[in-house]
Amino acid sequence: MGLRCGIVGLPNVGKSTLFNALSNAKAESANYPFCTIEPNVGVITVPDERLQILEALVNPKRVLPTIIEFVDIAGLVKGASKGEGLGNKFLANIREVDAIIHVVRCFDDENIVHVAGGVDPVFDKDVIDTELQIKDLESVDKKLAKSERSAKSGDAAAKKEVVVLQKFKAALEGGQNARALNATPEELEAVADLQLLTIKPVIYVANVDEGSIQNGNAHVAALQAHVAQEGAEVVLVSAAIESQIAEMEDPEEKEMFLGEYGLTESGLNRLIRASYSLLNLITYFTAGVQEVRAWTIHRGDKAPAAAGVIHSDFEKGFIRAEVIKLADYQEYKTEVKIKEAGKMAVEGKEYVVQDGDIMHFRFNV
């Protein structure tokens, strides 16, 4: 499975600059709104040092990391839910992503205009939230009207649906995002067909100046306080720094550059890690002489489901999984010695895959 995150934010908050730094796809970046007219998709590899460890041990013909897609979505303005600016396209594009990366401007620069006339991260966040809530409310209202008609005719399922929809309607009208409701699985199923925008998980990226990358600033503090009740994570990123890192190919040069800012890793790495955590994702590996490869699954997935990520036949005809822990691979060096030491586990259909497992699936179709 591939992870797809949509980068959203008001115009001129640094979305496209960040996107350019995160991927090889280059969105036009300019000092005016809507320079990204169509959504740009950048496919990047997920950094994982465990792949390098396995590569050194196995010496495969190729190494394939897992990937993440970042979608740079056109800027949003107040009134987008009514079609202002590029609102309709913006809102449609958000429906297609797994998670939202909400970039909020947390830096002052008089040379970069702000659509609202001044830097105010709380205002920026609320503008987008409001537009998404209005659009979601429209969706809920339409379905609610249909469900109420069916409920009046005695449809028991429709009556239950009405209760759920009224709950979401009240929250949205009260300025809440749908994800804040902590809805039950049954309630989520009732609104699944609506593809609500505000139900998607979100990470807030505070785009800061270079001097604020470690400890933040007053803008960051205001944003953190504002989103605290959501339990959402705020990741500090300097799009300016990431742009410079993106131009460097030498790992040592990157490390030295990051060290100058007191950093041990790039904002990209922090953002990817936060995205995986947000969506409850983990990575397992397959390792052989042909290839060493990383695979992304949901935490809690059992062995057959993990096998199905490689191919549906693997899941349908699943027999067993042979599992090695990375620490054992590092100690014993080869699969033969791992088996001899009794460190290769043979697991059945109920095995819950763990982050970092090295797996070989036996199947028969």
Residue 151, domain extent = 128-198
Is position 179 within any domain?
Answer: yes
In this prediction, residue 353 has a pLDDT band, given cuts at 50, 70 and 90, of: very high
What's the pTM? 0.83
Closest CA to 99 of 8, 26, 178, 217: 8
Is position 334 within any domain?
Answer: yes
The total number of structural domains that make up the chain = 2
Q: What is the CATH number of the domain that holds 151?
A: 1.10.150.300
Radius of gyration of the chain (CA): 23
Is position 350 within any domain?
Answer: yes
Is position 331 within any domain?
Answer: yes
d(CA 141, CA 37) in angstroms, rounded, equals 30
Q: What is the CATH number of the domain that holds 336?
A: 3.10.20.30
Is position 191 within any domain?
Answer: yes
Mean pLDDT across the chain: 87
Q: Which residue among 165, 198, 231 closes a domain?
A: 198
Give the pLDDT confidence of 90-128 residue by residue, as tens digits: 677 788 899 999 999 999 887 775 666 678 999 999 988
Q: Which residue among 198, 229, 256 closes a domain?
A: 198
Is position 338 within any domain?
Answer: yes
Is position 277 within any domain?
Answer: no
Give the pLDDT confidence of 128-146 residue by residue, as tens digits: 899 889 989 999 999 999 9
Is position 47 within any domain?
Answer: no
Give the pLDDT confidence of 263-316 residue by residue, as tens digits: 998 888 889 889 999 999 999 999 999 999 999 999 999 999 999 999 999 999
Dihedral angle of Cα 48, 49, 54, 57, to the nearest 10 degrees? 170
Give the pLDDT confidence of 228-241 residue by residue, as tens digits: 888 789 999 999 89
Q: Which residue among 146, 173, 198 closes a domain?
A: 198
Distances (CA, A) of 104 to 219, 222, 240, 261, 324: 10, 11, 14, 21, 42
Question: Is residue 182 packed enough to be buried (19+ CB in 10 Å), middle (13-18) or exposed (0-12)?
Answer: exposed
d(CA 347, CA 321) in angstroms, rounded, equals 5
d(CA 37, CA 30) in angstroms, rounded, equals 12
